[in-house]
Structure 1
Amino acid sequence: MLKVTPNPPVTEPASITDPTSPYECPDSKKFNEAAERALDYYLGPPTARIMAAPYCPNRLYMTNPKSSNESLLVDASETLGSANVMLNDFAALLEGTHRKTLLGIAQIVMLGELAVNQVLDNLVPTE
Structure 2
Amino acid sequence: MVSITDIPSESEADSISPYVCATSRKLHDAADRALNYYLNPVPVKTQIIPGSIFTIAPDINNETLLAHASESLESARVMAGDFVGVLEGSHRKTMLALQQIIMLGQLAVNRVLDNTGVSENA
Q: Normalization by structure 1: what TM-score?
A: 0.53
After TM superposition, which residue ranges in structure 1, 4 or more long, deviate above 6 angstroms? none
Asked if structure 2 preserves the Cα contact closer than 8 Å seen for 1:91 and 1:99, the reply is yes
1:71 counterpart residue number: 64
Asked if structure 2 preserves the Cα contact closer than 8 Å seen for 1:73 and 1:116, the reply is yes
Q: What fraction of aligned residue pairs are identical, expressed as a percent?
A: 49
Question: For structure 1, which runs of at least 5 residues remain unmatched after alignment?
Answer: 1-53
User: Quick one: structure 1 residues 125 and 69, their matched pair in 2 at CA, closer, same or farther if it must change by over 3 Å?
Assistant: closer
Taking CA–CA contacts closer than 8 Å with sequence separation of 6 or more, which of the two structures ends up with the larger relative contact order? Answer: 2
CA RMSD of aligned residues (A): 2.0
Asked if structure 2 preserves the Cα contact closer than 8 Å seen for 1:70 and 1:124, the reply is no
User: Quick one: structure 1 residues 69 and 116, their matched pair in 2 at CA, closer, same or farther if it must change by over 3 Å?
Assistant: same
Question: For structure 2, which runs of at least 5 residues remain unmatched after alignment?
Answer: 1-44
Give SS of 1:121's match: helix
- Number of aligned residue pairs: give it: 73
- Aligned counterparts of 1:125 and 1:79: Cα–Cα separation in 2: 17
Name which of 76, 83, 86 aligns with 1:83: 76
- Aligned counterparts of 1:125 and 1:93: Cα–Cα separation in 2: 36
